């Protein structure tokens, strides 16, 4: 999608009823300052958070819904705490340790205050804080503002652009504020690589409740059942990595059902070696690998058979996706259960297998080592 189409989209979003382009309009800037002040000074915020992702580069979509309680905790390590509920996992940060509460495995993974302190970017990667409604831009950072009505509701929209020249990437952020309630309704992020739109993200915030009291995060926020097993991060990593495929392993099964419904052998038909790429739709690293392999016209060198396997996507969905990517080799969907036998930890992962089913190499990510293995 080109900039022209993006411009039309943003125009439609902001021109439901004759908007007034205000630039440095004092009313719009006043609303921004008052909203920032409310978000930054009110001790406790509760709100519903919803996100919708459309990754054009990877041809995938994703959505999430959470309930967030956030409170300033001046005496804590970071100055705040939070409790996030949604799906099968809760997050609870009491200002010292963070607990990841898995309701499916009935397990609590504790990340200690010491571990958190060693990572300055620990909280920036949290989905519920990546578009934190408290982290509004300062007036000086605003490129322009628009007075508009969306869905019968008066709003101000504020535009901010950022650039990453080394990646030829431009991101446009639009903050939608409710001038009456002085809250953030929506944050929209549109990313471009070159002249193409690569990703669209929408964050929606609703059902705000503010309190002048600080929330004491603790036992009351944990599940009522005491049957949850607690482990530390190192123990959790060890559990997740146990049984993973490693060099030297001998595979005892070669036959799997492809996305075309055919039984295929991934090794044993000849002396050729096999490389299985494990990935899934929506994995940015997998999409990057596909792009780089496509640049080489998927012309793998002689003596190598290349396959693709996804433990996440069904055959129908994967067939469409790989056709778009022009991937010409045999592929396997989640129905094949291939990853149950391989157990890879991350995506993409490339596994090199010799002609009799012995694993020679396991490479996480797409790099020069993978390129050398696949291409002349």
> Residue 211 in contact with residue 202, Cβ under 8 Å?
no
Give the β-pairing of 80-85 and 255-257: unpaired
Q: What is the mean pLDDT of residues 90-95?
A: 91
Rounded to whole angstroms, the Cα distance separating 154 from 180 reads: 8
| More confidently predicted of 318 and 19 | 318
Helical ranges in the chain per DSSP H: 3-14, 26-41, 113-117, 127-130, 233-241, 284-295, 315-325, 338-342, 368-374
Residue 128 has pLDDT above 80, yes or no: no
Least confident of 79-83, 104-108, 362-366: 104-108
Half-sphere exposure of 204 toward its Cβ, with a 13 Å CA cutoff? 9
111-117 mean pLDDT? 92
Q: How many CB atoms lie within 10 A of CB 273?
A: 16
Q: CA separation (Å) from 358 to 13, 94, 208, 234, 353?
A: 56, 48, 57, 29, 6
Tokens of 63: 């959505």
Q: Are strands 107-111 and 229-232 parallel, antiparallel or unpaired?
A: parallel
Percent of the chain with pLDDT over 70: 88
Residue % of the chain over a pLDDT of 90: 52
User: Phi and psi of 372, rounded to 5°?
Assistant: -65, -35
Average pLDDT over residues 329-335: 95
DSSP conformation class of 44: E
Please give the mean pLDDT across all residues of the chain: 85
> Where in the chain does DSSP place strands (E)?
20-21, 44-55, 60-72, 80-85, 89-93, 98-102, 107-111, 144-150, 153-164, 169-178, 183-193, 196-211, 229-232, 255-257, 263-265, 273-278, 304-309, 331-332, 349-353, 359-364
User: In this model, does residue 20 exceed pLDDT 60?
Assistant: no
Pairing of the two strands 144-150 and 196-211: unpaired
**Strands 80-85, 169-178: pairing kind:** unpaired
Question: pLDDT grade, residue 306 (50/70/90)?
Answer: very high
pLDDT band, very low/low/confident/very high, at 1 (cuts 50, 70, 90): very low
343, 322, 31, 47: which is closest to 181 by C-alpha?
A: 31
Residue 224: per-residue pLDDT: 61
Q: Is the per-residue pLDDT at 191 higher than 90?
A: no
What is residue 22's predicted lDDT score, i.e. its pLDDT?
42
Min mean pLDDT across 182-196, 245-259, 300-314 is at 182-196
335: CB partners within 8 A, 6+ apart: 257, 314, 315
- Average of per-residue pLDDT across 216-220: 81
- pTM of this prediction exceeds 0.75: no
Residue 336 has pLDDT above 50, yes or no: yes
Place of tokens 């010799």: 354
**pLDDT number for residue 218:** 79
Residue 308 pLDDT exceeds 80: yes
Count CB-CB contacts under 10 A for residue 141. 12
Residue 14 pLDDT > 60, yes or no? no
Confidence (pLDDT) at 226: 57
Q: Which residue has the higher pLDDT, 164 or 5?
A: 164
């Amino acid at each position: 999608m080109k900039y022209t189409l993006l411009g039309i989209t943003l125009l439609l979003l902001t021109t439901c009823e004759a908007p007034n382009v205000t630039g440095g309009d004092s009313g719009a800037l006043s609303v921004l300052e008052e909203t920032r002040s409310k978000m930054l000074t009110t001790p406790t915020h509760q709100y519903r958070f919803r996100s919708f992702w459309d990754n054009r580069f990877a041809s995938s979509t994703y959505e999430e819904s959470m309930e967030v309680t956030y409170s300033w905790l001046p005496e804590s390590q970071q100055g705040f705490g939070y409790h996030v509920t949604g799906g099968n996992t809760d997050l609870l940060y009491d200002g010292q340790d963070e607990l990841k509460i898995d309701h499916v495995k009935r397990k609590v993974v504790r990340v200690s205050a010491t571990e958190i302190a060693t990572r300055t970017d620990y909280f920036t990667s949290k989905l519920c804080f990546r578009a934190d409604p408290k982290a509004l831009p300062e007036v000086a950072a605003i490129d322009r503002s628009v007075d508009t009505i969306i869905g019968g509701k008066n709003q101000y929209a504020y535009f901010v652009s950022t650039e990453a020249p080394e990646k030829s990437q431009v991101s446009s952020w639009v903050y939608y504020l409710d001038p009456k309630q002085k809250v953030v309704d929506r944050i929209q992020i549109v990313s471009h690589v070159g002249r193409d739109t690569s990703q669209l993200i929408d964050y929606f915030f609703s059902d705000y409740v503010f309190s002048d009291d600080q929330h004491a995060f603790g036992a009351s926020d944990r599940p009522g059942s005491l049957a949850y097993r607690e482990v530390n991060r190192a123990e959790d990593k060890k559990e997740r990595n146990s049984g993973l495929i490693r060099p030297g392993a001998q595979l005892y099964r070669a036959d799997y059902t492809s996305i075309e419904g055919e039984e295929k052998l991934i090794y044993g038909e000849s002396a050729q070696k096999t490389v299985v790429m494990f990935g899934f739709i929506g994995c940015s690293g997998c999409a990057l690998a596909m792009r780089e392999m496509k640049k080489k016209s998927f012309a793998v060198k002689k003596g190598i058979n290349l396959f693709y396997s996804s433990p996440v996507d069904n055959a129908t969905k994967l067939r469409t996706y790989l056709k778009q990517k022009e991937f010409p080799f045999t592929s396997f969907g989640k129905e094949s259960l291939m990853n149950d036998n391989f157990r890879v930890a991350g995506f993409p992962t490339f596994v090199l297998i010799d002609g009799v089913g012995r694993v020679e190499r396991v490479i996480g990510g797409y790099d020069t080592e993978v390129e050398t293995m696949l291409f002349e």
